[in-house]
């Protein structure tokens, strides 16, 4: 079974600091990769996604992620975080399961706290 | 366009009872997936429905079941509730459930089992 690993459960940063959240997955075949964010009291929202092409993808609110196939990684980055980025971030992988249809496997999430 | 809606938003049940949760997908979306979110296990896939058929199922006991109606609305049912079933249950919809499609999540139903 495939798995997704997020390296940090909690990250605390000051405003304007740079952010990098790690994500590694185990599946060796073709994958679709996602980062979702859950702001306090809100539902999961898509930040960005990667299917193919340029391995550096840009999402909303200044976030970007880089797909490195050889490392099975899809790390999320932001050059300068803001207090409003305080949220829980989830990496997710979508691959073809035995049934022939795909589903999302999520990492355990990283809680980011940005202090003003 | 209205987002994914889930009802009820909160539920309190006791052990042994059963519960039914409802999900209305975004208009035009035919694939509905259900996930369980807990602090310890994170988000775990329950099952996915498309055109009233369950296409995919996660590693959950048979007490967890679901169905989808012709208008794509979906329900999930948990019978003989256990304390460990306390969780946030999330519904997500997409156009056809293909791998490259974005899944759009609802606000969830928070279930507390006493």
pLDDT tens per residue across span A31-77: 889 999 999 989 999 999 998 899 999 999 999 999 999 999 999 99
CA distances from A16 to A13, A39, A81 (A): 8, 19, 5
List A88's β-bridge partners, or say none: A38, A111
- 8 A C-beta contact, residue A6 and residue A68: no
Taking CA–CA distances from B48, the nearest residue in chain A reads A103
B26 touches chain A (CB under 8 A): no
Using the beta-carbon criterion (under 8 Å), do B99 and A95 form an inter-chain contact? yes
Residue A81 reports pLDDT greater than 80: yes
Q: Of A42, A96, A106, which has the smallest distance from its Cβ to B99's Cβ? A: A96
Q: Of B55, B98, B105, which has the smallest distance from its Cβ to A44's Cβ? A: B105
Across A5-19, A88-102, B30-44, least confident range:
A88-102
Residue A98 reports pLDDT greater than 70: no
Stretches where chain B sits below pLDDT 50 are none
Tokens representing residue B59 in the block? 């590693």
A96 touches chain B (CB under 8 A): yes
Pairing mode, strands B19-24 and B74-78:
antiparallel
Chain A residues within 8 A of B106 when measuring between CB atoms: 43
Torsion sign (Cα): B51, B54, B55, B58: positive
What is the spatial distance between Cα A36 and Cα B35, in angstroms, rounded to a whole number? Answer: 14
Residue A4 reports pLDDT greater than 60: yes
Question: What pLDDT band is residue A97 in, cutting at 50, 70 and 90?
Answer: low
**Amino acid A102: pLDDT:** 64
B97 touches chain A (CB under 8 A): yes
Taking CA–CA distances from A47, the nearest residue in chain B reads B102
């Amino acid at each position: 079974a495939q798995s997704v690993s997020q390296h940090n459960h909690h990250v605390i940063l000051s405003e304007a600091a740079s952010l990098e959240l790690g994500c590694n997955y185990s599946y060796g075949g073709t994958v679709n990769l996602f980062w979702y964010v859950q702001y306090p009291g809100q539902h999961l929202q898509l930040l960005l996604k990667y299917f193919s092409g340029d391995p550096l993808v840009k999402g909303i609110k200044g976030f970007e992620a880089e797909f490195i196939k050889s490392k099975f990684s899809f790390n999320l980055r932001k050059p300068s975080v803001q207090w409003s980025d305080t949220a829980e971030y989830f990496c997710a992988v979508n691959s073809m399961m035995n049934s022939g249809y795909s589903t999302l496997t999520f990492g355990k999430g990283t809680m980011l706290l940005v202090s003003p | 366009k209205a987002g994914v809606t889930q009802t009820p938003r909160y539920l309190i049940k006791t052990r042994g009872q059963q519960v039914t949760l409802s999900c209305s997908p975004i208009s035009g979306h035919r694939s509905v997936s259900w996930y369980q979110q807990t602090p310890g296990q994170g988000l775990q896939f329950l099952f996915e429905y498309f055109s009233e058929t369950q296409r995919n199922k996660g590693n959950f006991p048979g007490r967890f079941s679901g169905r989808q109606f012709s208008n794509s609305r979906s329900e999930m049912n948990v019978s003989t509730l256990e304390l460990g079933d306390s969780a946030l249950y999330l519904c997500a919809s997409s156009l056809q459930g293909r791998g490259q499609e974005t899944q759009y999540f609802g606000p969830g139903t928070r279930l507390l089992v006493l």
